[in-house]
Every structure is written in C-alpha cells, then in structure tokens.
A and B are shown apart, each in its own frame.
Chain A
Amino acid sequence: MQLSSNSSALRAFARIGWRRAAAEPLATAARGGLNVLALGIFWAFWRATPLAELRRPELTPERLIWYLAVTEWIVFSTGIPYREIEDDIRSGALATNLTRPIDYARACCAQWCGGIAFRLPIFALVGFVAALGLSGTVPIDPAMLLAGLASVLLALAILHLCHLMIGLATIWTGSAAPLHWIWQKGLFVLGGLIIPLSLYPAPFRRFAENSPFAAMLSAPASLALDPSPGHAIAVLRLQLIWLIVLAGMAWLTDRAAIARFLERGT
C-alpha cells in the first residue's frame, strides 16, 4: 500500500516536472537555438582545424560534429536543475517540503524525470536536424541506436545525481554556484564535452576516461566514433559502475544534508 502510494506520488511529481518544462516554450526554444548555435560554432571550428595533422582518418569533421551532437543533447536536456534545490534551501521552502510524506530527494528526482521526458525528444530532434543539416551525413550505425539510447539515459541519471548533490551542498556552503562552476568545468574537460578524450595526452586520458565525467558525456558520445559492440559494452559497464557509486554518495549526502538542515536550518 505504502509502495503504491509512493509510486503514484512520484508519478505526480514527474507530471509536475513535465508541465513545468512544457510551460516554458520560449526558454526551450532559446535553449534549442543555443544547441544549434553551439553545433554551428563547432562545425566551423572542426572544419577550420587541420585534422589531417592527426593522421587518424576516423576523425572527420562529420564524425566529430555527431560526437558533439550527443554531448550537447545530454547537456541541453539536463539544464541546471540543482538551482531548484538551492532555491528551496535558501528560501526556506525546504522546510515545507520536508513535511510531505514523500522523501524530498526522490520527489526532486521524479520531477526532473518529468522535465527530461519532455525535453529529451525535443533536443534529440533539434540536434539530429542540426547535425544532419551541417554534416549532410548520419555516421551512426542503426544497430547501435538502442545501446546509444541506453547509454544516454544512464548518463542523464548520473548527471542528475550530481546535480542533486550539488544542490544539497547549499546547506553547507550557502550557495552552490561556485561548486557547480568547478563541476561543470570538470564535465567540460574530463567529460570531453568538445574534444574527444582520445585526443588527450596518455596519462590524462586514462584518468579522464575512468572518471564519472566521462560516464556522463564522452562515453555515450564515443559511440558515434566507435560503434563496435565491444566498445558499447565497455561504455555501459563504466556507466553502471558510476551510477551505483554516485547513487550511494547521493543517498549519504541527502541524509547528511537533511540532518543538518533539521538541526541548524539554513
């Protein structure tokens, strides 16, 4: 009984997330425009790059733009959800939320899932049309689409767990923004947002490839560069490991943050 009422409450939060995302059509459109703009910038960027110097024929502007289309798809679908938790903590709304019978962190995650369900197909379409329009090709193996989609969903789950922890850090830091900047740049550099990790110098590449940031961006996007089944299995394994680790960390952070909030307030 408790389980079914919890799941219906979570579904209700997911619906709220969907409706909130749907209620901001202009912001979604602007974000879609930003996505296209980013792809346009990097299409010009990679075309101006002397890729022949690498002597790696698989790295063409066409493949690199599809790599970027996947990383941007994940980033733009996610947005900056930690801010909702930060606002709840700073405004004191967290206290009201804690009186609900449903766990605050789970309610947030359910709400974010609703928002993602709304934005993911939109940005998939935007990214697909933009990358196709720019490159004129789709260098993705259709047989790998399912693995690619599973990988993107795992990446989104990991990203949202990080946002949950960053948002909850407001309880200690007063503002989560500085922490987010650093995390975001970690995602940018170690996640290979723009440049595939295969171009990184060897020791740094190994470190980046095994980091959670790679599991969030580079791993799913690398399927556009290497669509072999062996690589797909390695990618999914890395993501599952980090999902479990970060879920545990998020659970611990949530317990500690709520305990501190109940004890001291904001």
Chain B
Amino acid sequence: MRYAWTLLRMSIGSAFARPIAALSAMLLMATNNFLFFITFVIYFRNFTSLKGWVREDLALLIGVCCWAFGLAVFLAGGFRDLATTIGSGGLDPYLGRPRHPLPALLFSQSIPSGLGDMGSALVFWTVLSHRGWADLPMLLLVGTLGAVVVAATATLLQCLAFWMPNSGLLSEELFQMFMMVAYYPEHPFGFAVRFVLLTVFPAGFVAMMPVEAVRDGDPRKLVACAMAALAYAGLAGWVFERGLRRYTSGSRIIELR
C-alpha cells in the first residue's frame, strides 16, 4: 500500500506541475459532461420516458460513468499508454525494479481531467438526479467498483500489444467502444446483448448494474458489481502476467542508469 501511495503521490504531483493547465482540463471535462447531458434533456422534453427511465435516471447513470472513468484515469491513468509502452519495449525499466511492474505502470500517470469527471458526477447525482446526500456513500461505492472495471478492461485491451505489437490504436478504439456503450442506457436491450455486456464486454458493470443496484436498492446487484470488479481486476493481472512471458526487451535497460 505504501508503494502504491508513493507512486500515486508522484504521478498526481506531476499532473499538477502545471496547475492552470490541470485546472482548465478539469473545468473543460466537467463542461463536456454537462454538454453531453443536454442531449438527454432535449430527449426527455419530447418524450415522457425511455422504457420506464426518466431524465433523473439518465443523470444517475451518467454520474456513475463519470465517477468510474474519472477515478480510473485520475488514479491509474497509465493504462492509456500501456500498449505503446509494451510495443516500444518500454517495460524494461519497470522489469528491473523489485516490485511487480503493473502497479507502477498503471500509477505512472494521473490525468487531472479525471477530477473534473468526478466533480461533475457529484452534480449529476445530487442536483440533476435529485439523490439525497444519504445515497452518496452507496453511489461512491458503486462508482468506485465501476472504476475498477474500467481500469481492468482498459488494461486487458492494452495487453493486446503483447500479442500484436502495433495494436495501440486498436486498443484505443476498443476502449472508446467500451466507454460509449457504458454511457448509454442499456436496459432497452434484449437478453443476448445484456449478457454480452455483462461478460465478454463488461460495460454493463460500469454503470448499468451499479445504477440498477442503486435504483432498486438490491444488495444482490451490489454484490454482483463487487464480484465483477474483483474478477476483472484478477483477469487483467493474469493476462498481463501471461503477456509478460512473451515480452522481448526493447533494449531500453540503459534507462535504468
């Protein structure tokens, strides 16, 4: 834990080395999220509901997504560059360290706009979806579990680089696909699609299941979210280990000096 805390402190310090740039990134990201929500404001101005969901439910869903994505990139933003690091042989300096390379890679970068996402999530929950402060601990919990799923899925996608060295763009496109699905209500989908979204492409665990856990107050759904977070984090670690066995040095060991 102390190791992770040290890494986090350094990456967050580095992210705020240019405080004005970091602050403007946060504000712009929050603005970005509220602009996105305008589409649903317009939608619900025309229609009474979307299969039982109203504007407040959409605000809840977008809030959970914002918190999950924001927390993931703020704390473990290194996952965005994992494929490039692997493809360019950039793992060498990490492999020379006594600790496992994955935490150092994930915590190597903190993206300050993530704080803008997290801040806007609070507004989505408390102002736009009219949830009381009493709901906040539960929302923070499900959002944080969603963040673990986001980071784990991104890591899995970026690990493609172990098998396909120039797959950085592919991983990014797949991740965009994953996040896009997460940001939209998935309850109108049929069983088959929902099954896929809760298994091979677990976007359903980023927002849909967490929101249903909060809306329905169903502890089984909360447990499912927690189990999914554990399972996908474990899977990401396992796939990274398997990929590491295929890794060949990029002759960058010199950087250790």
Contact = CB atoms under 8 A, between A and B. Distances in A.
B164 A178 contact: no
Contacts of A174: 18, 21
B199 to A, nearest CB: 16
Contacts of A33: 177
Contacts of A49: 43, 47, 50
A89 B36 CA distance: 29
Nearest to A201: B45
A139 interface: no
Dominant SS among interface residues on chain B: helix
A33 B157 CA distance: 15
B88 interface: no
Dominant SS among interface residues on chain A: helix
A173 B42 CA distance: 32
B42 A188 contact: no
Contact of A178 (B29, B176, B188, B190): B29
Contacts of B18: 174
B169 A34 contact: no
A199 B25 CA distance: 32
Contact of A188 (B25, B36, B169, B173): B36
A47 B43 contact: no
B interface residue count range (under 10 / 10 to 19 / 20 to 34 / 35 or more): 35 or more
A185 interface: yes
Given A45-B188, A181-B32, A201-B45, A34 B39 contact: no
Interface stretch (A36-44, A113-121, A258-266): A36-44
Interface string A47-64: 111110110000000000
A185 B46 contact: no
Nearest to B177: A34
Contact of B181 (A41, A178, A186, A199): A41
Interface of A: 24, 26-27, 30-31, 33-34, 37-38, 40-41, 44-45, 47-51, 53-54, 173-175, 177-179, 181-182, 184-186, 188-189, 193-195, 199-201, 204
24 contacts: A33-B177, A41-B180, A41-B181, A41-B184, A44-B188, A44-B193, A48-B188, A49-B43, A53-B47, A53-B48, A54-B46, A178-B24, A178-B28, A178-B113, A181-B28, A181-B29, A185-B32, A185-B36, A186-B35, A188-B36, A189-B36, A195-B42, A195-B43, A201-B45
Given A37-B177, A181-B32, A182-B32, 13 more contacts: A27-B169, A27-B170, A31-B173, A40-B193, A41-B181, A41-B184, A54-B46, A174-B18, A177-B113, A178-B24, A185-B32, A189-B36, A201-B45
